[in-house]
Amino acid sequence: MLTRSHWSTKPLNQMTNRDWRIFKEDFDITTKGNTSEQMLRYWNESAIPNKVISLIQNLKYLEPTPIQRATIPLGLVGRDVVGIAETGSGKTLAFLIPAISYVLNLPPVRPFESPYVLIIVPTRELAQQIESESQKFMNNLHFNVASIVGGHSYDENIEKLERGVEILIGTPGRLLDILEKKILDLNRCFFLIADEADRMVDMGFEKQVQSLLEQLPPGKENPFPLSEGQPKRTTMMFTATLPPSIEKLTSKYLVDPVTVTVGNTENAVESVIQDAIQVPNDDEKKMAALKNILFSNSRKYHPPIIIFVNYQKTCDTLSNFLTKLNFRPAIINGSRTQSQREEAISRMKSRDADILIATDVAARGIDIANVSLVINYQMSKSIAEYVHRIGRTGRAGNTGTAITLWNAETDCDVLFSLKSMIVSSKVSKCPSDLLRHEKAQQKQFKNIES
């Protein structure tokens, strides 16, 4: 019987259609749209510039993640892309590598000139995370990256733009402010990235995003096209889900896009073990349950730990409670200034703080390495936010645990979805009280889940 070699043992030029099909199956990649571009097996087989490859290897990114394998080759040749993948899947590098490769051979940007690449994100924290990731490349490649976000003064923003910025990252509101004040224009910006597009829509930024897109120059005016034929703008849009509002944006602003989906984006990542504990609707008993988790003998969790809540006042209550237990908590919520948010993240990364207490403002865009445990002290109001919350652990090849404290009265709208999420996880076991609870047997349609 003839034994066929696996694709991983073959030279690139001997890959067959069957090999590529198995490659996509191995990494749970599906694509929709017309494309002839080969996916990325290994860094050294790609069209990424050699100096970028060297930096990737120096930074110890040993192998591309599935979303990077599928979307980087498309971005390198200027194809429009819709990337759909769970949080923690490596989306940042999936768009940064094509963007960095694009600007490498372009003339330096002078003070207050249009950037070549615009990256739109929903939150300040995500903008700064992307800026930090970009900084690992920029010093060696001699171009500038800057983030423009609310919470920082215009003087700070202007100081960044004054040196000339090739890649500009920002939240929709602050970017529009800068453009309306004519501090900057976008007349040479032919590479657009929208990260966490679904989150931007959820946060009410859809009109602002459209306004930004309308201010970009027509693709046919691009003096630096990435491929032969009609010049065009390159747009890479990344999202964890694909609601109708995002499909509407892609149909209007993207040209012949390739849609790439990695895994089942309706389920939580399989590197997270999910658990749920029923608690009374009583603060004292709920805090006792939290204490039991943190001091569990059977499950020893090491810092950093993130605890999610729904209300700002709960952050302060839990902070006082945890401080009395000799923890060193930090807080992020909507009432905190940008400098306070940055200080909280800095304390977590330096291990000066061991537990982050946060509202959903931190569910996306916060990248703290090696989070062992996420606790939903208050269950999120939608299952989409639940997925993003627990995605703060089990990242970058690590495993993690997420424990939700739930109550039949306060969480009845999402109990069915919570149960379904845990049941569908191959690494989790749904507790019997949640599995059989009457409120978890069918969707409650009181709240609209995204």
Give the residue-averaged pLDDT of 156-168. Answer: 88
**What's the pLDDT tens digit per position in 108-123?**
999 889 999 999 999 8
With CA atoms as reference, report the closest residue to 329 among 352, 296, 313, 298: 352
> What's the rounded Cα separation, in Å, for the pair 201 and 145?
25
User: What letter represents residue 349's amino acid?
Assistant: K
Task: Report the pLDDT value the prediction gives residue 269, as an integer from 0 to 100.
Answer: 65
C-alpha span between 304 and 326 (Å, rounded): 14
pLDDT band at 367 (very low <50, low <70, confident <90, very high): confident
C-alpha 130: how far from its chain's center?
A: 10
Write out pLDDT tens, residues 30-86: 999 888 889 999 999 989 999 999 999 988 888 999 999 999 999 999 999 999 987
Q: Which residues contact 171 (CB under 8 A, 6 or more apart)?
A: 120, 121, 122, 123, 124, 127, 148, 149, 150, 205
pLDDT tens per residue across span 87-99: 667 899 999 999 9
> In this structure, what is the dihedral angle of CA atoms 30, 33, 38, 39, given to the nearest 10 degrees?
-30
pLDDT of residue 152: 66
Q: Which two tokens stand for residue 41?
A: 């097996």
- Domain ranges for the chain, please list them: 7-262, 272-440
β-pair partners for 235: 192
The tally of CA atoms less than 13 A away on the side-chain side of residue 285 is 9
Give the pLDDT of residue 1.
43
> Cβ atoms within 10 A of the Cβ of 240, count?
22
Q: Is the pLDDT of residue 239 over 50?
A: yes
Q: How far apart are alpha carbons 69 and 317 in whole angstroms? A: 44
- Select from 189, 191, 193, 203 the least CA-distant residue to 245: 203
Identify the helix (H) or strand (E) that includes residue 259.
Answer: strand 258-262
Q: Note the pLDDT of residue 66.
A: 92
Residue 262 has pLDDT above 80, yes or no: yes
Average pLDDT over residues 280-298: 89
150 CB-near residues (< 8 Å, 6+ apart):
124, 171, 173, 174, 338
Q: Is 70 exceeded by the pLDDT of residue 4?
A: no
Write out the H or E segment, with its range, that includes residue 355.
strand 355-358
Question: Does the pLDDT of residue 346 top 80, yes or no?
Answer: yes
- The share of the chain scoring above pLDDT 70, in percent, equals 93
Going by pLDDT thresholds of 50, 70 and 90, the confidence category of residue 448 is very low
Residue 399 and residue 61: Cα distance in Å, rounded? 18
Distance (Å, whole) CA 88 – CA 403 = 18
Report field, pTM of the whole predicted structure over 0.85? no
325, pLDDT greater than 90: yes
Q: Is the pLDDT of residue 444 over 80?
A: no
143 C-beta neighbours (distance < 10 Å), count: 20
CATH of the domain spanning 272-440: 3.40.50.300
Measured CA to CA, the distance from residue 117 to residue 343 in angstroms comes to: 28
Enumerate the β-bridge partners of residue 331. Answer: 357
Report CA dihedral (173, 178, 182, 187) to the nearest 10 degrees: -80
Report whether 75 contacts 95 (CB < 8 A).
Answer: yes
Residues 201-231 have pLDDT tens digits of 888 899 999 999 999 999 999 988 888 778 8
pLDDT at 199: 84
277: pLDDT strictly greater than 50: yes
- Please count the residues of the chain: 450
Q: Is the dihedral of CA 412, 306, 200, 78 positive or negative?
A: negative
Q: Kindly report the CATH number that applies to the domain delimited by 7-262.
A: 3.40.50.300
Q: What is the mean pLDDT of residues 138-155?
A: 80
Encoded tokens for 80: 């429009």
pLDDT at 447: 42
How confident is residue 102, by pLDDT bands cut at 50, 70 and 90? very high
Q: Do domains 7-262 and 272-440 have the same CATH topology?
A: yes
Lowest mean pLDDT among 66-80, 243-257, 276-290: 243-257
**Which band of pLDDT confidence, cut at 50, 70 and 90, is reported for residue 399?**
confident
What contacts 341, CB < 8 A, 6 or more positions away?
A: 124, 125, 151, 332
pLDDT at res. 358: 94
What per-residue confidence (pLDDT) applies to 293?
94
Judged against a pLDDT cut of 80, whether residue 446 lies above it is answered with: no
Identify the helix (H) or strand (E) that includes residue 423: helix 415-424
The phi and psi torsions of 104 (rounded to 5 degrees) equal -55, -40
- State residue 306's pLDDT score: 96
